[in-house]
Chains A and B, each alone.
Chain A
Amino acid sequence: MVFRRPSLALVAGALFLSPLAADAADYHHVHITSSDATEAVRWYSRHLDCQPLSDRDDSVDCQGVQVTFDSQPSLGSSQRTGIDRLSFSYADLTAKMGEIESVGVGGAGVRLQRFPDGSTLQDQPGLYKHGFIFDPWGTRIELVEDSDRIGFHSIHLSATDPAATLAWYEEHFGGEAAQLRGQIDGLRFGDIWLFALRHEDGVPAATTGRAIDHIAFELEDVDRDSVQLAQAGVSFTQQPAVPEGGRTGARRGFVAAPDNVSVAVVEAGFAGVARSMDDVVDITTQQRDYTVPRTPWGEPDFQGVWTGDAAHGIPMERPRDLTDTEVLTPEQAAARRERGTLGSIWGYESEWRDTTLGYVKSAPSQQVAMVIDPPDGRIPDFTPEAQARLANRVDTSGVRRLAAGPEDLSPWVRCITRTLIPTPQVYNNGMQIVQGPGYVAVQREMIHETRVIPTEPKPHVGESITSWLGDARGHWDGDTLVVEIKNLNGRVPFRGTTDALTLTERYTRTGPDTLQYQFTIDDPEAFTRPWTGMFTYVRDETQYELVEYACHEGNYGMPNILTGARAREQEEGR
């Protein structure tokens, strides 16, 4: 069979490999899942010298290979799947790696994968120098120095039986069996190599949904070739058809390749699938009728693992320029999230953030602001006493002031507690609810702290028993769990609140996978009137489980901050 132009599709985006040489079997593209195709096009252009395609907003040409990105949630890195990585070759790799390293983690989303000795580059005798990075969506990328081919260099499969895997591709998609520098068996498609490395740890994970979603080959005659493939025992996971949203009338199908790899077969002229952000549903703002299920003992059932990830990025207060906006558009919501993650000052590269676009089930929430009362979405004024108190407040960030000891740092840094309200952060937004008759336990992933809420009437503990999480008492208001929290110690920094705060939480299930969380701040020592905010949790037990966040036990930050402070003082001769 004759195939044209292999294409690799990456999940964060799709990588289309299209060597321009038109003879023999070719890749069509590599398909990458990037969660944000526009951002991915920018990233690959900036860091890997690919060229945006003039007629497409979701693809780049990497030295003759088309790489296509789609804006879908990614299920994680390509590493340990059947397509481990892509390689790019540079004439001066040391200079290239230096350039990438100098970009740092400051929002560019390049992650270096260092070798065990800490270096970023290593020589492979007889082969070439190489090093590894990840794109922001988890695509593993190898950078090599192979003067025989500059630019997009190779695709590395990870196979339980590499020889059999290569034979499979050769039989069904052609390519020319060859050895790279007498060392590595592979197939050549034009100038591009397809390698199969031995998968060392069990069976490779499925590529579908992961950062490199699939690679694509172009079939000369889809009808004829599909029949031949099927006759040769190749199993189609999707028969060739014009995909919904296809930019042309060209058909695309998928076959199951060895090692859980998904391979697309496309017809000449295939130009990807146009997706709009509207296809990604924000389930947090979709209201519908919903009957809350019951526990076996008859109480509303809120049990499960929920995450606030979809709500990350919603500001507490309504921005002044969005006074009349009811909800953001999906594009605005995505842009707001990307500003908060890709461009964040946080020292976490996007792959490590739970809330990187595409990592979570729900699209970013289109909610404009958390505050719903007062209706203008703005936090009420401080009382005059509170204003005076706050003017003298001490900075505990540890950044602008050298900490004399742990007490000078915030309870966040000290791993005592995190935020008073579980406002979503870049990581650890999970919440597990477990119920028994008359009790609801709400466990927050942050710190693993758990609030036990009795739902039968019980008086609060004595007022001298103050604590970080406070004393919670709940009741059911219809199908809403209402929790009144008193006896807070006033030491968790939150918008100027004090130990006079009564925090009221309202949990309401609004759909099978959505849970609305409302909080009311009533603190007469701080605000001139109570105020209420709201955001929505999403249930995602396919992807999300709370694992133990041993924050204090692993608090390397604390000794590092204090050691740094002492060193700085010594430098400054204090």
Chain B
Amino acid sequence: MRIGDAKQSYGADEAIWTSQTQKLWFGLLLVILLVFPFMADSYLLYLGCLVGIAVISTTGLNILTGFTGLISLGQAGFMGVGAYTVAWLSLNTGLPFPVTLMLAGLMAAAVGILVGLPSLRVKGLYLAIATLAASVFLHFIFAEWESVTGGMGGLSLEPAHLFGWAFQSDFMMYFIIVPLSVLMVFAARNVFRTRIGRAFIAIRDRDISAEILGIDLLRYKLMSFALSSFYAGVAGGLFAYFFRVVTPESFPLSMSIFYLAAVIVGGMGNLLGGILGAAFMTLVPEALKLLTAALTPFYPNAPVFMSPMLEIIFGALIVGFLIFEPHGLAEIWHRIRRFFRLWPFRN
């Protein structure tokens, strides 16, 4: 049971850290994240990096869909923009990774603003379909603009480097990806303590009312698009450095749906939900792979059924969460916390 929680100023109410305990837990999490790569084997390390990238992208989509209420089916396309920017820059300029990642984010943000432009006229599902159109065009550009993107063959790139260090292994990439994802989630958390973030939320709750309150809809909707695609661009850039090859097929429509599913399964409009959703949706296929590997000695056919099972589980997770747990994993997490917080009194 937590006590002594009374707030005496708005500042305290808005603070990210509301208690010492919270800081303690967070410190513990950071220590775990820091120690993890030294303890984990290469497979776990690989998963850790994947989850980190997914967390960044999901957080970006959460800003747009969960907090601003604009549905996007273009997240994979924006990631592609970031990935191609990084790939092109690393092949043609040799800039170090902090610069290329920043430029990848900015490039994706610029494309995001362009895609967001119709958002004043169309909303809801029409907007989702406009972003779908954008992702079709982006895929087309990736595949056809051969002088820059290398066509269907794509681009392979050098490992990320900084001050003469090359980040070649997953182990080293972990130290780029995970700190960056912690930082970016924090940045997102901070956005929602500012006027901008609250404007996003007001637009989500009712855009017409928000406009009457004096929120410039076009400006804030575009800002949300820019911010969200910036996140996607950085995630795409990391994706490029991590796999070191970028093709048009790296960013299919199903990837956009994957991120939308991660936001929903995690909990829309909840940053913690985005993190949980990203981790969960990335790890479920891996768990299934492990299960398949374990079953293969007994059922030699198991690998054949893995890919269809994955499709079915993916769909069932989306449908199941929407029907039975619309607030997602974040809500489950809160329930668990509430149980401990109210522990002696609840039963």
**Do A and B form a real pair?**
no
Q: Give the B-binding residues of A (Cβ under 8 A).
A: none
Instruction: Give me the interface of B with A, judged by CB distance under 8 Å.
Output: none
